[in-house]
Amino acid sequence: MILQSEIAAVVLAGGKSSRMGYQDKALLTLHKKPLIEHVIENARNQVGSMVISVNNCPQKYEYLQLPLIPDKLCNQAGPLSGIYSAMDWFHKEKKESDIKYLACFAADVPYFPENIIALLSDSLESTGCKVAYCISGGQIQPLFSLWSLDLLDDIKAALNRGVYGPKPLLPKLQSVMVDIPSSKPEYFLNINSPDSLAEAEKRSA
C-alpha cells in the first residue's frame, strides 16, 4: 500500500502564461481567491507534503509558506522541467523522509476530485507501473499524474532530448492511464484565457 506520507506534490506554476497577457496566471482570482490557493486547498489533504514550481517573481508566492522550486535544467521550458526540478529537490532535500512519489497539479486547473491521488496510487500499486496519469471524459490530463521518484534520470534524459511535456514521454515509461470520473462540471477546467476564467466562475457558482 502506498501511504499518503510517501507522496509529495508539486503545483506547477512555472509557465509564461502567454495567453493571459503574461500575467501571473496562478494568482488570478476565482471566487475572490487566487487560482493557486484553490489548487493547494484541494490537494493538501491528498498528499504528505507540497512544493510550488515557480519561475516568475517567486516573492509573490512566499505568502503561501511552501518551498518554491525554480526550473533547474531548462528555465520555463514546460511542465516536465517543473516535475524534474521538484523531483530533484525531494531527492536532495528530503533524504531523511519517506517520500517516494511525486503528485502533479496544474496551478491553472483549480477543481479536481478529492480522491484523485488515491485512485492514481491504487493503480500504481496494482499494476507495478512507475507513473499513473488521468483521462477524464475522453481527454488525457497528463499534468494530473503520480510519478515514482525512481524516474528522475529518465526525465532528465528526456529534457536533454528536448522533450518538455509529460504527454510524449508517458508511453515510453512504465505508465498506466486511469479513467477518472468527472462528476462535477468544473472538474479539470483549464484556465488559460479570460473566457475560461469566466466559464470557471459560471460552472462553479
* Domain 4-203 fold: Spore Coat Polysaccharide Biosynthesis Protein SpsA; Chain A (3.90.550)
Given pLDDT bands bounded at 50, 70 and 90, which one contains residue 98? confident
**Residue-wise over 18-55: b if at least 16 C-beta within 10 A, else e?**
eebeeebbbbbebeeebbbbbbbebbeebbbbbbbbbb
Position 8 pLDDT exceeds 70: yes
pLDDT in tens, 122-134: 999 999 999 999 9
* pLDDT attached to residue 153: 96
What is the percent of the chain where pLDDT is above 90? 75
Q: What is d(CA 110, CA 128) in angstroms, rounded to the nearest whole number?
A: 29
Q: How is the chain split into domains, by residue range?
A: 4-203
- pLDDT at residue 96 in the model: 60
CA gap 48, 5 in Å, rounded: 4
**Dihedral angle sign, alpha carbons of residues 40, 169, 21, 192:** negative
* Better-scored residue on pLDDT, 56 or 47: 47
pLDDT of residue 19 exceeding 80, the answer is no
